[in-house]
Structure 1
Amino acid sequence: MADIQVPPMTGMTVPGCLRHFAAATPDALFVGEPGGVALSYADALEEVLAVASGLRASGVGAGDRVHLHLPNSAAFMVHLLAIGEVGAVAVPTNPESSSDELAYILSHSGCVLSVSGPLGKQAVADARDLCPDLRDICGPQDLAALGRDRRTAGPAPHGLDPIAVLYTSGTTGWPKGVVVTHANLLVAGEVVAGHLRLRPRDRWLVTLPLSHGNALFYSAMSALVTGASLVVSDGLDPAGWVDLARAHEITVTSFFAAGLRSVLATSERVADRDHQIRAAIFAQPLTDAQLTRFEERFGLPLLQIYGMTETVAPPLMNPLYGVRRNSTVGLPVLGYPVRVVAQDGGDSLSGELLVRGTPGVTLMAGYYNAPNLTEQTVVDGWLHTGDVVRVEPDGYVSFLDRAGDILKPDIENVSTGEIERVLCEHPSVLEAAVTGAADEDGEQRVVAFVVIRPGQDVTTDELLDLCITQLSPFKVPRELHLVDDLPRSATGRVRRSALGGGR
């Protein structure tokens, strides 16, 4: 008997998955908006085919890049699937992006068409002169209207074909375009769906931007591969998210740590536990006190996870059942071997995290138009994350910091994350960010920026005393500034470069 070896999910495409559920459960909800559009699987397929025909009529074909500049909406999902249907490649961006940011992304990716909503259309227009490949800018209704008049069909894409290029936030330099395939998105959906035991009756509340990997890979795709549904909201309402979850019978959701902190800053209500949410995943660290307060207040389990755009699926997650250690990023998930490599290149319990996979299936296909960078990042099947972690005695993995967030004010390395954790242990501190600034002689000093909780009062001397008692002398900030808020990217990551000083 001959062996049959089929790489996982490479025989299916993202719009092919939609077709399956449109036939199997046509009336089941696929995507809805609070108080707005609600599309069943059959409705969504009808819209996708209309937009796909509009794309072909506009001259978009296989391999062409299409800019997707829409807020969280049913239209975003429809256009993403339609772009995949024609074999083109979506380049999603946050609608609040500046024209300078868009000019780089659109020119680098060579987008031929931009689908833009009212919020971001002017910024695209302002960037157009610097984007020689961009032929047209249209609104989210234009392609569907064109397609309904001119229904056309074309060759079907393959599972290993690219479907999107997601640009990283650019917090450490020029954005990099991460290429993901149909197989990538479906594998990510399967990993998260399996880990959370998703069923067709489950429903995601998506408040994180669909232009980012967390919402797109983990929430939207896990719903699609299971025939579940998602309600997409354009941003998180810290005081009203439980009401929204209750009204739409939400069972799963996802946060960044900054969003969780903003929720905890709201007043407690009797209705905080009046919901059907059975699990919430989150990324980026919280203090033990914040974790406890959230779970006790809302009565739902939090699961800290770890992932990056390049890994597509999260290779580390806290378990839904069993011991959840949310001070860590969890355990390796099925199908994602990991290694920790010390600075000297050997295996270690503390060092850089490496993730093994197959490019285009379980890891990104590569960086767009950057083969050298791709070869430096994925070596012999191991993706070098640049993130520093520690393996605990029980096998759970603790995130320490980005390799780029390691300061060196003295002989010893200093982790910005370690100092931030200590500052956030003070009950008056809402959040903190630490960066490095260069002295006149070129030596680096540690600088901290701290946001105080509303109604609380603390002095810089008190916070420095806390650092002195809990940190080695060379780790104590030389400067500490109290600020109203921290500058952030669209996905919630603190933009350290905007804090001042040099690294």
Structure 2
Amino acid sequence: MNFASLPDRRADLDPDGPAVADRAQSLTNAQLLDRVRAAASHLQGLGIRPGDVVALKLTNRIEFVVLLFATWRLGATVTPINPSLTDNEVARQLDDSGARLMVVEDDGAPLDGITTLVVGDLSTVGTAEEPQIDSSTLALLIYTSGTTGVPKGVMLDHANLLAMAEMGRESLQVGPADRCLLILPLFHVNGILVSVLMPLLAGASVVIADRFNPQTFFDLVESVRPTFFSAVPTIYGMLAALPDGVQPDTSSLRFGVCGAAPATAELLTRFEARYGFPLIEAYGLSEGTCGSTINPIAGPRRAGTVGLPFPGQEIRIVDEDGVEQAPGVDGEVVVRGPNVMRGYLGRPEETAEVIVDGWLHTGDIGHLDVDGYLTLVGRSKDIIIRGGENIYPKEIEDVLAADPSVLEAAVIGVPDDKWGEVVVAYVQPRPDSTVDPAALKALCARHLSGYKRPSSYVVVESIAKNAVGKIDKPSLRATHAGSRR
């Protein structure tokens, strides 16, 4: 089985069972299969054949899911496009991926040089044969966020997707009784894998939410009664900062998954104490088909760590020479398993740099404890070197986030004539709070060695994020440099 034939299997097993819904419509398993067949027939009529690439420049909606399965039914590949990209950025992804068709919103503008289908014109009548797709067929081209350079196309085949979804289903104990609430964007692998493919593979159903809004999120939870959802620390921080009078009914929720960026132990503990359901912190990256470690849902969860390897994956910590490090010693996180990408599209040299002897070199720095739990301390590219001393920003960010007035913190290194680099902290206040830099300075003095303490604190209304909700440190560094000119 692969995901191209999953709608057929669900329709055979439970034709009238719920499959996927959004604000506008709801589909049973049989209806989902009918829509997938019709969409596949439509794509065939537009000339899509095995090996072609279909670009989906869509917001979160049922048609995105339908088109995923329809494209795979034809042996073709999907590349999701962030709807907020500029025309130049879209054109670059289309050119790099070799896409033959782009599906856009009803108000979307066509681009020169590529066939464009308006999603409202997608056929709901038609049929296409049950697929016969090899597991090595390319399924997804996920483009990296570009924070480390020009975005690259991460090649994920059907074997990658199935392995990752099975790992998630087993780790999170998801089954037919579950309902997933999708709030992350579908142009990112987390939204596709954790919130769509994994639950559908497990026999569960999916409800697709509109763009996340902290003011209405719990109203939606009370309305659709999901059993789990996946989000990023920024979202959990906003929910934790809601006024004390917000006391929603969260009894349907078994857990929330927290990933894409490290969360502080303080946030995880405070959130669970307030809302009554656990946050299961996980870690991964697009090149590893989304997830590599996760805290056990039924076993000991260690706040501040990102958990244990998913079943079927291996994690090591290595130094710059590739030598494996002992527990407690920081080094680069490397990953091996059937979830590791095929490579970067058209970039064999860059692929060879990150996949060495089957091990994916993540560029993330961390350490394992004696029980195998992974703690992240930062990105290798984010390390601050002050007077020859390595400083990991996350350690400082965790200290700052413990201040009750701070919603979020981002620490960067800036050039300095004396030290080479010094530490600068950007902090975003919680709603209706005021940050006192003097209090933050005193807090850091109590918890951090002198060389790790920020030389300055910059209070901002919001901290820059990239498209998938991670703090955009390259942008932050550029903004800081511009402000000092």
The correspondence for 1:244, drawn from 220, 223, 233, is 220
Q: Counterpart of 1:219?
A: 195
1:367 Cα deviation (Å)?
0.8
Which amino acid in the other structure matches residue 397 of structure 2? Answer: E
The correspondence for 1:142, drawn from 121, 131, 134, is 121
* Distance in 2, Cα, partners of 1:173 & 1:260: 28
1:110 Cα deviation (Å)?
1.4
The correspondence for 1:83, drawn from 62, 71, 83, is 71
Q: Are residues 442 and 137 of structure 1, via their aligned partners in 2, closer, same or farther at CA, if it must alter by over 3 Å? A: farther
Mapping for residues 395-410 of structure 1, pairs under 5 Å: 395-410=372-387
Aligned-partner SS, 1:211: coil
Mapping for residues 310-321 of structure 1, pairs under 5 Å: 310-321=287-298
Further displaced range: 454-463 or 408-417: 454-463
1:370 Cα deviation (Å)?
0.9
Q: Counterpart of 2:334?
A: 354
Q: Counterpart of 2:436?
A: 459
* Distance in 2, Cα, partners of 1:428 & 1:435: 20
Aligned-partner SS, 2:119: coil
1:382 Cα deviation (Å)?
0.7
Alignment check: 8 A CA contact 2:465 2:471 kept: yes
* Distance in 2, Cα, partners of 1:152 & 1:456: 57
Gaps of 5+ in 1: 1-11
Q: 1:40 and 2:28 equivalent?
A: yes
The correspondence for 1:71, drawn from 39, 59, 65, is 59
1:274 Cα deviation (Å)?
4.0
1:270 Cα deviation (Å)?
6.5
Aligned-partner SS, 1:272: coil
Alignment check: 8 A CA contact 2:4 2:133 kept: no
Q: Counterpart of 2:251?
A: 275
* Distance in 2, Cα, partners of 1:393 & 1:88: 44
Aligned-partner SS, 2:122: helix
Q: Counterpart of 2:8?
A: 19
* Distance in 1, Cα, partners of 2:179 & 2:39: 25
Further displaced range: 64-73 or 270-279: 270-279
Further displaced range: 485-494 or 466-475: 466-475
Q: Are residues 269 and 185 of structure 1, via their aligned partners in 2, closer, same or farther at CA, if it must alter by over 3 Å? A: farther
Q: Counterpart of 1:232?
A: 208
Q: Percent identity?
A: 36
The correspondence for 1:206, drawn from 179, 182, 200, is 182
Mapping for residues 5-404 of structure 1, pairs under 5 Å: 12-34=1-23, 36-118=24-106, 121-122=108-109, 125=110, 128-129=111-112, 134-144=113-123, 148=125, 151=127, 153=129, 156-269=132-245, 271-283=247-259, 284-348=261-325, 349=327, 350-358=330-338, 362-404=339-381
Aligned-partner SS, 2:139: strand
Q: Counterpart of 2:421?
A: 444
Gaps of 5+ in 2: none
Q: TM-score, normalised by structure 1?
A: 0.90
Aligned-partner SS, 1:458: coil
Alignment check: 8 A CA contact 2:103 2:116 kept: yes
Alignment check: 8 A CA contact 1:189 1:219 kept: no
Which amino acid in the other structure matches residue 299 of structure 2? Answer: G
1:201-240 Cα shifts (integer Å, max 9, x gaps): 1100010011111111112111121121110112222132
1:445-502 Cα shifts (integer Å, max 9, x gaps): 3222111122223332332232233222222222321100011112110111222246
Q: Counterpart of 1:6?
A: none
Q: Counterpart of 1:3?
A: none
Q: Counterpart of 1:8?
A: none
1:169-209 Cα shifts (integer Å, max 9, x gaps): 11111111111112221221111111111111110001001
Superposition RMSD in Å: 2.0
Aligned-partner SS, 2:298: coil
1:404 Cα deviation (Å)?
1.2
Alignment check: 8 A CA contact 2:4 2:131 kept: no
* Distance in 1, Cα, partners of 2:118 & 2:358: 41
* Distance in 1, Cα, partners of 2:425 & 2:131: 55
Q: Counterpart of 1:9?
A: none
Number of aligned positions between the proteins: 476
Which amino acid in the other structure matches residue 454 of structure 1? Answer: P
* Distance in 1, Cα, partners of 2:372 & 2:164: 23
* Distance in 2, Cα, partners of 1:377 & 1:304: 25
* Distance in 2, Cα, partners of 1:344 & 1:202: 45
Further displaced range: 264-273 or 20-29: 264-273
Which amino acid in the other structure matches residue 5 of structure 2? Answer: G
